[in-house]
């Protein structure tokens, strides 16, 4: 009797497994004929996972996953692949990319990332917002990044950079190797805190700053989130019904910043505090879109829309600068000739402008522009652009019609490392960005900040901050490799911005005047 029951239970379990696996197979492969029917070249998918099994399981960075697909079709303008069961169209041709994100932007206004604003507050931010809601908020926030507003940040960035140089000077007395990524991250957190939100954080002198710790957690995916993302791609309706969190955003970090920025806005409102910074721009948007009865638009806004954008600008503004500055220091340490030339330009320009690090001084640092552009190219922080077709689009010169709702991927990192546009792409060479060399490349081959109406709103602020940081550090120190310097750098495999797996260790030798 017992033996019979065991066999019966085993048979039922086995039958259930067969049914579930069969359902999953047919359900997830039901879309796998999409690109064949449209006569689009595509990477052959595997059941359930499509073309990105390793990426979803954390075994491979998305750079490598998208790079393989990109390299598989060297002569095609576009190709197809599958994220689980979802068909994606990868755009490879720079001319077509340029047309789609600039000239024909009205067909691709959204990022095509599905997030529920009632579940995830970040879905309300400028990066994830869609349609008119994005357009209106972009118009309201753009005044926070005008030339006049940016000029007002110079002194604050200089003060934070001086704190960094003092910190490096003290550390250099104790050790030959300094971990740069974390140190620059503290600086970038202080800069965005004081320039955008009027908060003196002093993260540089406090390694355990709650602000810095929460910035690092915001977009760090957990195992639970990765599982829910897979579930969301396979069964999006279930995710929506259950209102599950599928974006790589730490809830505790969200709550931390939500509380902080709400307090800042409430304090300024209550005490009638007015500053010429980004918080004031956010408060003006709040007044116009949330409080004022004059706003008659169809799109409705609430306090969470303002808070979400404060959180986005804080976290994105610190992490991207952290990565770019750290990678730049790394390459300068390995290429003394480039470092010496950049330092000579800085010193010459400081003499020319009487030691004033003003707008004219910063605009005159042409070689610094080349060095930073090459850093953006080699270490592309945001590895791909995403778009969603908001209406049917006939691809110019092709028989393909991209249907409304189709998800688009532009592989920025792969383009930045394509020998067709950048010979010897693994070599750090700022000469690629002389005016003459840039004129040889088609538009659409250099997109570190995106392009078109949806390009990064903080681009100019980031460039300004990076130039001041370079000026301050190279005026005070010679940078070189140390025993702990990793050559080549190993990168984290987790999705998100490009970042080093083991930090960046360098030697800083004070320059004697």
Mean pLDDT of 171-193: 93
pLDDT at 226: 57
User: Among 166-170, 189-193, 205-209, 500-504, which stretch is predicted with the lowest mean pLDDT?
Assistant: 205-209
**Cα angle, residue 212 at apex, residues 207 and 215 outer, rounded to 5°:** 155
Q: Compute the average pLDDT of residues 347-358.
A: 93
Q: Which pLDDT band, with edges at 50, 70 and 90, does 371 fall under? A: very high
Candidates 194, 214, 162, 83; CA nearest to 357 is 162
User: 145, 460 in Cβ contact below 8 A?
Assistant: yes
pLDDT of 51 > 70? The answer is: yes
In the prediction, which pLDDT does 409 show?
Answer: 97
CA angle (49, 53, 56) in 5-degree steps? 105
By the 8 A CB rule, do 462 and 324 touch?
yes
Cβ pair 246, 494 in contact under 8 A: no
Give yes or no for residue 290 having a pLDDT over 50: yes
The answer to whether 246 and 122 have CB atoms below 8 angstroms apart is: no
pLDDT of residue 8: 45
User: In Å, how far from its chain's centre is CA 293?
Assistant: 36
CA dist 291 → 284, 294, 300 (Å): 10, 9, 11
Cα 477 to its chain centre, rounded Å, is 29
The predicted structure's pLDDT at residue 223: 57
Which one has a higher pLDDT value, 8 or 79?
79
Q: How confident is the model at residue 350 (pLDDT cuts 50, 70, 90)?
A: very high
Q: Give the pLDDT of residue 275.
A: 86
Q: Are 144 and 278 in contact (CB under 8 A)?
A: yes
For position 228, what pLDDT does the model report? Answer: 57
Average pLDDT of span 128-144: 94
CA–CA gap between residue 462 and residue 11 (Å, rounded): 62
Burial class from Cβ neighbours inside 10 Å (0-12, 13-18, 19+) for residue 32 reads middle
CA distances from 185 to 171, 173, 189, 318 (A): 16, 21, 6, 7
- At residue 392, the pLDDT reads 98
Region of poorest pLDDT, from 19-23, 85-89, 353-357:
19-23
Q: Is 444 helix (H, G, I), strand (E, B) or coil?
A: coil
Does the pLDDT at position 249 exceed 70?
no
Q: Are 387 and 110 contacting, i.e. CB atoms less than 8 angstroms apart? A: yes
Residue 230: pLDDT above 70? Answer: no
Nearest CA-CA partner of 331 in 459, 426, 438: 426
- Comparing 255 with 221, the larger pLDDT belongs to 255
Mean pLDDT for 235-244 is: 57
| pLDDT above 70: percentage of residues in the chain | 89
What string of H, E and C letters represents the secondary structure of 223-244?
HHHHHHHHHHHHCHHHHHHHCC
Give the H or E element holding residue 510: strand 505-510
Q: Alpha-carbon Rg of the chain, whole angstroms?
A: 25
Cα 42–chain centre separation: 27
240-249, 284-293, 363-372, range with the lowest pLDDT: 240-249
Pairing of strands 477-481, 401-402: unpaired
Enumerate the known binding-site residues: 456
- Asked if the model's pLDDT at residue 157 lies above 90, the reply is yes
Q: How far apart are CA 215 and CA 253, in angstroms?
A: 7
Q: Is the peptide bond before 488 cis (omega within 30 degrees of 0)?
A: yes
The pLDDT of residue 5: 46
DSSP conformational letter for 90: E
For the chain, the average pLDDT equals: 88
Cα–Cα distance measured from residue 11 to residue 17, given in angstroms and rounded to the nearest whole number: 10
Confidence of residue 215 (pLDDT cuts 50, 70, 90): confident
CA distance linking residue 8 with residue 6, whole number of Å: 5
pLDDT band for position 498 (cuts 50, 70, 90): confident
In this structure, of 96-100, 210-214, 216-220, 326-330, the range with the lowest mean pLDDT score is 216-220
Cα–Cα distance for residue pair 449/456, rounded to 1 Å: 5
Q: What is the pLDDT of residue 353?
A: 93
* Stretch (H or E) spanning 386: strand 385-388
Binding-site positions for heme:
456
Domain annotation for the chain: domains and CATH numbers: 31-122+383-447 (3.30.43.20), 125-358+456-512 (1.10.630.10)
pLDDT at 88 over 80: yes
Percent of the chain with pLDDT over 90: 61
Decide: 322 and 164 in contact? Cβ < 8 Å: no
Query: Does 6 score more than 80 pLDDT?
Result: no
Please give the model's pTM, rounded to 2 decimal places.
Answer: 0.90
Please say if the pLDDT value at position 10 is more than 70. no
Whether the predicted pLDDT of 109 surpasses 80: yes
Neighbouring residues of 258: CB distance < 8 A, sequence distance ≥ 6: 121, 307, 311
Average pLDDT over residues 295-305: 84
What is the structure's pLDDT at 442? 96
């Amino acid at each position: 009797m017992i033996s019979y029951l065991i066999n019966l239970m085993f048979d039922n379990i086995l039958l259930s497994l067969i049914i579930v696996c069969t359902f999953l197979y047919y359900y997830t492969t039901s879309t796998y004929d999409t690109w064949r029917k449209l006569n689009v070249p595509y990477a052959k998918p595997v059941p359930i996972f499509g073309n990105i099994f390793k990426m979803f399981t954390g075994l491979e960075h998305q750079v490598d996953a998208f790079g393989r697909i990109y390299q598989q079709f060297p002569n095609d303008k576009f190709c197809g692949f599958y994220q689980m069961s979802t068909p994606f169209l990868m755009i490879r041709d720079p001319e077509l990319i340029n047309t789609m994100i600039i000239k024909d932007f009205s067909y691709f206004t959204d990022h095509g990332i599905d997030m529920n604003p009632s579940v995830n507050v970040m879905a309300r931010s400028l990066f994830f917002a869609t349609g008119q809601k994005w357009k209106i908020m972009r118009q309201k926030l753009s005044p926070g990044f005008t030339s006049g507003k940016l000029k007002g940040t110079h002194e604050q960035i200089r003060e934070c950079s001086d704190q960094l140089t003092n910190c490096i000077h003290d550390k250099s007395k104790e050790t030959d190797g300094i971990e740069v990524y974390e140190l620059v991250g503290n600086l970038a957190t202080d800069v965005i805190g004081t320039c955008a939100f009027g908060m003196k954080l002093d993260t540089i002198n406090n390694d355990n700053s709650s602000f810095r710790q929460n910035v690092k957690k915001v977009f760090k995916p957990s195992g639970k989130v990765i599982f829910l993302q897979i579930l969301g791609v396979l069964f999006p309706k279930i995710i929506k019904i259950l209102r599950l969190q599928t974006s790589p955003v730490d809830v505790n970090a969200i709550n931390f910043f939500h509380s902080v920025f709400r307090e800042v806005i409430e304090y300024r409102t209550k005490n009638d505090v007015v500053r010429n910074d980004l918080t004031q721009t956010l408060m003006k948007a709040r007044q116009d879109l949330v409080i004022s009865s004059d706003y008659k638009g169809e799109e409705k806004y609430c306090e969470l829309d303002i808070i979400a954008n404060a959180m986005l600008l804080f976290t994105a503004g610190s992490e991207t600068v952290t990565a770019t500055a750290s990678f730049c220091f790394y390459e300068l340490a390995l290429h003394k000739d480039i470092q010496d030339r950049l330092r000579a330009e800085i010193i010459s320009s400081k003499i020319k402008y009487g030691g004033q690090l003003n707008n004219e001084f910063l605009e005159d640092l042409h070689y610094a522009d080349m060095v930073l552009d090459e850093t953006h190219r080699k270490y592309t922080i945001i590895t791909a652009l995403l778009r969603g077709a908001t209406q049917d689009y006939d691809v110019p010169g092709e028989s393909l019609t991209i249907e409304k709702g189709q998800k688009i991927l532009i592989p920025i990192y792969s383009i930045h490392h394509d020998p067709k546009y950048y010979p010897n792409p693994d070599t750090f060479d700022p000469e690629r960005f002389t005016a003459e060399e840039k004129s040889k490349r088609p538009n659409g081959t250099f997109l570190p900040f995106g392009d078109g109406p949806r390009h990064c709103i903080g681009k100019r602020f980031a460039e300004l901050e990076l130039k001041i940081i370079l000026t301050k550090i190279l005026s005070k120190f010679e940078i070189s490799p140390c025993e702990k310097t990793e050559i080549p750098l190993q990168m984290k495999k987790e999705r998100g911005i490009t970042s080093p797996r083991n930090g960046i260790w360098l030697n800083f030798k004070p320059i004697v005047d």
